[in-house]
């Protein structure tokens, strides 16, 4: 590797120097991060096509403040590079100081020219620098250039050491031939896997294990997930670039490391996921978590609720804390009711039938759950709930008494939630793609902001919830304004009439669930009051330590200050980190992914436009394109989202969209989208719904 330097001694003169220490580069020259990372890769012994760097100071000599080049100096420089670094073909690449940062990559925003002949080298340097000048407005000491040996690849692509959508898996996108097609947003092949790569891999990429090993090493070296461009020639893997994955924060990376450290203790396959329960019990303290597990124990309120409708529930310890975050063990959860189903047996995120016993219980429970008459139960549940709320004591004398009340009445709360979940799921099923508008069906006409006459704290059954209590109208009389929405008016009358039955039932049960939430808050407030009194009595001024005790320790009067303090310290260490939404010993298969793919998260709505009618006066625009070309970034301020027929999760445009929080969906040409239509896109789930 050669770094070209300049020296003014009477007349302009170019000198070369071998740099043997990266610190010398940092002290004596100005290079962009891309060039610095290449130098570090080379010096660390990784296979990198040979290259030279033109530092920012050299570039400054070539071009003045008005963007005019010195042809003589440019010719001299190109000749010198060719003399000292002779190659049949070159690749001339940008290395702007602003590129490849931890938060902003400027991916694909500066020019790269491939297959440059020695005769065209000066012209290529000129084009790359002029492109940067136009985009930066000035290149004063902020732009360097990489001139690299051009290698014609057999395969090329990008590997992410972690999913840019905050998953643990590695993501590899590739194609035969030039890699600029991959980052340029055209059609790619994709491979997801967990490190180390499984020994059963037998695809066309014979070098994939070596590539994955190098990628993992770089993640460790830079202590952050890496976005790595690579090529393979005659079985040899070359690295072209490495930079941080900008869509992942330091808190996400810390969370991944912590959960993986804990998952190393796992001796078998696993599938954990954050669910709606995880949202309610976000980062629960030991006390809140112990109350939750108390509800799900054998013979507890949850088991009794299922028993009332003929379902045999078996406690399977399906709740798990990892780095303070609540996960549901999906395998244990499914087996608590349907023991003949499994996620892990077939390594899929959708449960499948397996011949391992429990068939009779599975059939029995399935029939019981799906033969419930929701209409028949509604009135009796409503009367029972109103009676319980009316007769619930205002205060209790002990933690034991409060717990007994919860054991007695949470069964009713959970049963109402089962029914409400079922009727809403039935409504979603009948709505089909229109389920994205379901929130419009449950808009209440009013919210009782003064519903806290009893001094209640929190809005859920989570003991940690100390938000101001807000009570919603619970009569079930929801607004019918949704009938004015265009998506509803486009439905045929027969479908509207059919849906109305499901809508009315879902609204009734949603109102009932709201009343059940009120009962939950009443009960948890009784318990919280008594728990805090115990905390003050046992811990004095450190009464908050009671939240780091477990419910059974309080009930059995076995509280130990040192143990609670130790738990509090451990809890504080993990506070503020972010963990993945799901954790599995396998990756999602292609069958688990929908026809279209989300590459940049977020949900948005707009009218579909093309580049040709971008100027049309439409307030909310969704841009429809053929490929995720990097130059589309110029339209980001004008659009709400992008739909592309082709493109990859790791393309330059996808990177820039994630940095800008712009939803993007790739349809793989399997979704028919028409210009002028109003659509809702979900860049996380990868869905496109035509209104």
Average pLDDT of the residues in 604-620: 86
What is the pLDDT averaged over residues 393-412?
96
What is the pLDDT, as a whole number, of residue 439?
76
Q: What pLDDT is attached to residue 10?
A: 28
Question: Does residue 198 register a pLDDT over 90?
Answer: no
Residue 194 and residue 172 in contact, taking contact as beta carbons nearer than 8 Å: no
Query: Using one digit for the tens of pLDDT, what is the confidence trace for 365-387?
Result: 999 999 989 988 999 999 999 99
Cβ contact 247:226 at 8 Å? no
Position 25 confidence tier, pLDDT thresholds 50, 70, 90: very low
Identify the bridge partners of residue 175 per DSSP, sorted by sequence position: 156
CA-based max dimension of the chain: 99
Poorest-pLDDT segment among 4-8, 300-304, 314-318, 360-364: 4-8
Averaged pLDDT, 451-464: 81
What is the per-residue pLDDT for 688? 86
Residue 332: its pLDDT value, please?
A: 95
**Secondary structure (DSSP) of 436-466:** GGGGGGG-BS-EETT--TT--B-SSS-TT--
CB atoms within 10 A of CB 529: 14
- Which of 135-144, 204-213, 243-252, 623-632 is least confident? 135-144
Instruction: State the Cα torsion 364-370-373-374 to the nearest 10°.
Output: 130
pLDDT tens figures, 125-165 = 999 999 888 888 777 778 889 999 999 999 999 999 999 88
Residue 670 has pLDDT above 70, yes or no: no
**8 A C-beta contact, residue 132 and residue 126:** no
Which pLDDT belongs to residue 182? 77
Closest by alpha carbon to 523, among 444, 463, 594, 588?
463
Checking if the pLDDT of 622 tops 70, the result is yes
User: Would you list the DSSP string of 521-548?
Assistant: HHHHHHHHHHHHHHHHHHHGGGGGGGGG
pLDDT in the model for residue 293? 96
Contact 627, 185 (CB under 8 A): yes
Give the C-alpha separation, 259 to 582, whole Å: 11
Q: Is 10 left (phi over 0), alpha (psi -120 to 50) or beta?
A: left
- At residue 29, the pLDDT reads 56
In whole angstroms, what is the distance from residue 305 CA to residue 308 CA? 5
pLDDT at position 400, please?
Answer: 97
The pLDDT value given to residue 274: 93
Mean pLDDT of 543-572: 96
pLDDT in tens, 548-558: 999 999 999 99
CB 650 within 8 A of CB 164: yes
| pTM, rounded to two decimals | 0.84
With bands split at pLDDT 50, 70 and 90, how would you rate the model's confidence at 7?
Answer: very low
Kindly report, residue by residue over 270-296, the tens digit of the pLDDT.
999 999 899 899 899 999 999 999 999
The sheet with strand 271-273 has its strands ordered as 319-322, 325-329, 271-273, 582-584
Region 32-49: mean pLDDT is 90
Q: Which helix (H) or strand (E) holds 51?
A: strand 51-54
Contacts for 110 with CB less than 8 Å, ≥ 6 apart: 94, 96, 99, 128, 131, 132, 135
Instruction: For residue 196, say if its preceding peptide bond is cis, omega within 30 degrees of 0.
Output: yes
At residue 621, the pLDDT reads: 93
Is residue 3 within 8 A of residue 17, CB to CB? The reply is yes
Per-residue pLDDT, 490: 83
pLDDT of 452 > 60? The answer is no
Average pLDDT, the chain: 86
Query: What does the pLDDT read at residue 22?
Result: 36
């Amino acid at each position: 590797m050669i770094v070209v330097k300049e020296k003014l001694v009477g007349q302009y003169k170019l000198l070369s120097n071998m740099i043997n220490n990266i610190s010398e580069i940092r002290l004596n020259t100005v290079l962009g991060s891309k060039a610095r990372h290449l130098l570090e890769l080379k010096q660390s012994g990784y296979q990198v096509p040979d290259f030279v760097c033109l530092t920012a100071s050299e570039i400054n000599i070539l071009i003045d403040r008005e963007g005019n080049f010195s042809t003589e100096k440019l010719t001299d420089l190109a000749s010198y590079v060719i003399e000292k670094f002779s190659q049949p073909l070159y690749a001339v690449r940008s290395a702007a100081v602003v590129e490849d940062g931890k938060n902003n990559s400027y991916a694909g925003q500066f020019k790269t020219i491939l297959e440059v002949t020695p005769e065209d080298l000066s012209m290529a340097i000129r084009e790359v620098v002029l492109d940067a000048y136009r985009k930066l407005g000035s290149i004063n000491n902020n732009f360097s250039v990489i001139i690299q040996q051009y290698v014609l690849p057999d395969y090329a692509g990008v590997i992410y050491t972690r999913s840019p959508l905050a998953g643990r898996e590695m993501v590899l996108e590739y194609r035969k031939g030039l890699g600029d097609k991959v980052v340029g947003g055209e059609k790619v092949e994709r491979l997801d896997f967990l490190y180390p790569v499984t020994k059963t891999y037998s695809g066309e990429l014979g070098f994939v294990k070596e590539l994955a090993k190098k990628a993992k090493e770089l993640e460790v070296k830079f202590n952050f997930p890496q976005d790595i461009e690579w090529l393979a020639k005659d079985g040899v893997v070359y690295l072209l670039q490495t930079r941080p994955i900008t869509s992942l924060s330091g808190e996400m990376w810390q969370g991944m490391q912590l959960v993986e450290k804990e998952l190393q203790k796992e001796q078998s396959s696993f599938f954990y996921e954050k669910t709606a329960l995880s949202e309610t019990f976000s980062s629960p303290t030991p006390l809140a978590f112990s109350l939750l597990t108390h509800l799900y124990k054998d013979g507890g309120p949850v088991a009794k609720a299922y028993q009332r409708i003929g379902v045999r529930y078996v406690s399977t310890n399906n709740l798990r804390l990892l780095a303070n975050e609540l996960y549901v063990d999906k395998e244990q959860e499914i087996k608590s009711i349907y023991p003949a189903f499994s996620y892990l047996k077939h390594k899929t995120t959708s449960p499948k039938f397996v011949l391992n016993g429990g068939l009779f219980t599975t059939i029995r429970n399935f029939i019981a759950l799906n033969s419930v008459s929701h209409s028949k139960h509604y009135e009796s549940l409503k009367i029972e709930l109103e009676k319980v709320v009316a007769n619930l004591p205002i205060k209790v004398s002990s933690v034991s008494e409060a717990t007994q009340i919860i054991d007695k009445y949470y069964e009713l709360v959970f049963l109402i939630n089962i029914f409400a979940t079922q009727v809403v799921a039935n409504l979603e099923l009948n709505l089909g793609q229109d389920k994205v508008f379901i929130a419009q069906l449950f808009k209440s006409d009013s919210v009782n902001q003064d519903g806290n006459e009893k001094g209640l704290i929190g809005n859920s059954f989570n003991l940690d919830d100390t938000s101001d209590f807000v009570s919603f109208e619970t009569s079930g009389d929801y607004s019918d304004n949704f009938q004015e929405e265009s998506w509803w008016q486009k439905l045929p009358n027969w479908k509207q009439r059919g849906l109305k039955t499901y809508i009315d039932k879902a609204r009734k049960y949603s109102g009932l669930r709201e009343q059940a939430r009120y009962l939950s808050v009443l009960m948890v407030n009784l318990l919280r009051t008594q728990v805090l009194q115990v905390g003050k009595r046992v811990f004095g001024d450190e009464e908050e330590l009671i939240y780091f005790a477990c419910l059974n320790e309080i009930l059995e009067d076995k509280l130990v200050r040192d143990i609670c303090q130790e738990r509090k310290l451990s809890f504080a260490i993990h506070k503020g980190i972010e963990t993945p939404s799901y954790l599995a010993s396998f990756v999602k298969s292609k069958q688990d992914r929908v026809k279209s793919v989300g590459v940049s998260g977020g949900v948005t709505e707009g009218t579909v436009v093309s580049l040709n009618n971008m100027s049309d006066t439409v307030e909310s625009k969704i841009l429809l394109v053929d490929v995720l070309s990097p130059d589309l970034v110029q339209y980001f301020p004008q659009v709400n989202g992008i739909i592309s027929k082709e493109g990859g999760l790791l393309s330059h445009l996808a990177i820039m969209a994630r940095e800008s929080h712009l939803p993007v969906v790739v349809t793989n040409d399997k979704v028919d989208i028409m210009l002028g239509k109003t659509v809702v896109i979900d860049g996380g789930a990868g869905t496109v719904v035509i209104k």
